[in-house]
Structure 1
Amino acid sequence: MFTRLTMLAATAALLIPAVASASTLPDMPASCFTYELAGTQSGAHGLTAKTLHATLTGTDITLDIRGISLSDPSGHVQATTLERFNAVAAYAALSAFKGGISDACKDQGLGINSSDLRPGTPQAAWTDVKLARPGHDMTIRKASIQAVQTTPDLHLKVEGTGIHDTKQPLMPTQLSADLTVQGLDTARQQITINALHAVSGTSTIDGKGTIEPGATASTSAADLHVGVTNVETLIGQIRDTAPKKVVAALTIARLMGRQSGDATLWDIGLSGGVVTVNRIPLPFSVP
C-alpha cells in the first residue's frame, strides 16, 4: 500500500479500507476486533487517513474518527508499524469505553511489541472522535498520544480536548497525562503517572503516583495522590444530573479528604485487595 503505485491503483487503494484483523493486527481475529482505515496517504515520516471505523465484535460499541495523523519524527518506525500502533490505540479506546476486555478478545495477542517501536518516537493524533453504544456517546474534539521515549522505558504523553460524555457528568472536558511504563517486556509492569491534569467545570484535577497492574484488582497495587479544587461547587453542579450514588460517593470522598487551600487532597492506596484513603482502610475488599 505504501509502495509507488500508478494513479489508478492509488485511487483504488484509498477507496478500499484495510481491515485490521486480516492485515494490520494479524494476531487478532475478526471475531474479536475489526478496524477500517480509509483515505490513507503516506508521507515522509508517516501517514494520514480521512476516517477510521473500529468495533469490538459481538458488542454494540463502535469507534469513529474523522481525521488521523500518524508519524515518527525520528524516521525509524515504518508506516506499517505506525498503523499497527494506531490499531492498538483504537482497540485500547474501545476496551476502555466498554470497561474491560470483551469475552471474545480474552487471551488474544496484539501483534505489536515494544521492539517494533524502538528506537523511534511514534505519535498519533485523532480529530472528531466518537465512541458509541446504544444510549451512550463519548466525543472528543482532539486526542493525541506521543511516545516521547521508547527505551529503556516507554514514556508517553496523552492529551484530549473537547471531551463530552452523555452518561458521565464528572467526565473532564480536558485531560492531559504524562506516563512512564517500566518493565514493558516483563511479566510485571509498573505505570508511573508523572503528572495528570484535568478540567471539569470550574474544578481542576491533578494527580501523580504509581500503578502495578495485576491479573485482578486483588493482585494489583497502587499508590496515588489526587487533588481536586472546588469540590463543593462540583457536587452542586452535578447534584441534579448525576446518579444519587455518584453524588453520595463524592460527598463521602470530600469528607475523607484533607484541605489545602481550595483543593481537597487524597492519598489512595491499593494493596492485597484493600483500598486505603489517606491511610484509612475502606471497609471492603476488591476482588
Structure 2
Amino acid sequence: MSLRLTLLAATAALLTPVMASASTPDGLPASCVTYELGGTQTTAHGLTAKTLHATLTGTDITLDIHGVTLSDPSGHVETATLERFNAVAAYAALSAFRGGISPACKDQSLTINSSDIRGGTPQATWTNVTLARPGHDMTIRKASIQAVQTTPDLRLKVEGSGIHDTKQPLMPTQLSADLTVQGLDTARQQITINALHAVTGSSAIDGKGTIEPGATASTSAADLHIGVTNVDTLIGQIRDTAPKKVVAALTIARLMGRQSGDATLWDVGLSGGVVTVNRIPLPFSVP
C-alpha cells in the first residue's frame, strides 16, 4: 500500500523538505508542479542542496529554500526515495499554502510506498524557507522532520522555528509535533497526535488526540484536546490586525472553553460531518 499525499500534508505539509532532482518525478507532470534545485552534493547517507525553487504550474505561488538536507543515518532508505519524499513535501507545501489542490493537479496522484522506508529513520531539514504569492508571504527560518520509527507504525517528529505569515496574525512563531501514523498498509490510516506545542505571541498552544482522515470532512473523524494560555491577551493582541471574523471566532471559542488556571481548554470532535466542542454540537455540518 502507499502513503498518500493527504496523509503527508496533514502531518507535515509546511515542515518537510523538497525534491532533489531537476526532473519532474514519476506520476507528477510538469503541468502540475515544476522546481529547480541548485548546488546538490551527495553525502554518506543522503544529499544536500544549496537552493530550491518550486511553483504550482499556472499559479503565482512559489516555494524557495536556501538549504536542504536529506539523510537516513540507518542507511536503509535509498537516495532516490529521499528525493521522492522531497517532491511530495514540496507539492504538499505549495498546495497547503494555496488552500487546496490546483486545477492542474486535480487528477494527479502522488504516492510513496511505505515498504521503501521500513527499517529506516529518514530525516530532513529546510532552512530559510519562503512560500509566496502576490501580497502574501510565509517564511520559516528552519523546519525539520524526523522519522524516529517506521515499523510497525510511522512515528514522526516535526519542528519549525522563526515562522512568520504576513496574512495570518495567529500563525505560531514556533511549532513542534510528535505524531504516530497507524495503518500504513491499510485503506484507512489513523494519525495520533502524541504531543503538539506551539507559541504565538504570549500564548502557548498544546494539544493531543487522533485524526482519521477520509476522502472528505464528512467521512473523516477526529478527537482532539486543545489548550491555549492567555486567550484574552491573545485576542487583545490581534484585535487591530486580524480580520473581524477571526477575532469573533476566537471570542466565541473562548466562551465555549473551560478554564484551567491560565489555560482555556477545548475537546473538539468530528464525526459524520458534525463538529462538537466540549460535547456541544455546532449548528452546521461540514461537507
- Normalising by structure 1, we get a TM-score of 0.91
Alignment correspondent of 1:234: 234
Indicate whether 1:70 and 2:70 are aligned: yes
* Residue-by-residue CA offset, 1:143-199 (whole Å, 9 max, x unaligned): 001111112111111100000000000000000011111112322111111100000
- Aligned residue for 2:112, secondary structure, equals coil
Alignment correspondent of 1:116: 116
Q: Which amino acid aligns with 1:98?
A: R
Alignment correspondent of 2:21: 18
2: CA distance, partners of 1:283 / 1:46: 50
Cα displacement (A) at 1:20: 4.1
Alignment correspondent of 2:192: 192
Cα displacement (A) at 1:109: 2.6
2: CA distance, partners of 1:20 / 1:224: 40
1: CA distance, partners of 2:114 / 2:23: 19
- On the 8 A contact 1:28/1:111 being kept in 2, the answer is no
Cα displacement (A) at 1:107: 3.6
Cα displacement (A) at 1:254: 0.2
* Residue-by-residue CA offset, 1:255-279 (whole Å, 9 max, x unaligned): 0000000000000000011000000
* Residue-by-residue CA offset, 1:191-238 (whole Å, 9 max, x unaligned): 111100000010000000011111111111100000000000000000
Alignment correspondent of 1:9: none
Q: Which amino acid aligns with 1:272?
A: G
How many residues get paired? 268
2: CA distance, partners of 1:239 / 1:20: 46
1: CA distance, partners of 2:271 / 2:181: 19
Alignment correspondent of 2:207: 207
Alignment correspondent of 2:5: none
Q: Percent identity?
A: 87
2: CA distance, partners of 1:185 / 1:104: 29
Alignment correspondent of 1:105: 105
2: CA distance, partners of 1:111 / 1:283: 37
Q: Which amino acid aligns with 2:22?
A: V
- On the 8 A contact 2:153/2:183 being kept in 1, the answer is yes
- Normalising by structure 2, we get a TM-score of 0.91
- Farther-moved stretch of structure 1 (108-117 vs 184-193): 108-117
Structure 1: stretches of 5+ with no match in the other structure: 1-16
Q: Runs ≥4 in structure 1, deviation > 4 angstroms?
A: none
- Aligned residue for 1:18, secondary structure, equals coil
- On the 8 A contact 1:18/1:38 being kept in 2, the answer is no
- On the 8 A contact 1:119/1:151 being kept in 2, the answer is yes
Q: Note the aligned Cα RMSD (angstroms).
A: 1.1
2: CA distance, partners of 1:234 / 1:20: 45
Cα displacement (A) at 1:57: 1.1
Alignment correspondent of 1:149: 149
Alignment correspondent of 1:93: 93
1: CA distance, partners of 2:40 / 2:185: 31
Which protein shows a greater Rg?
Answer: 1
Alignment correspondent of 1:276: 276
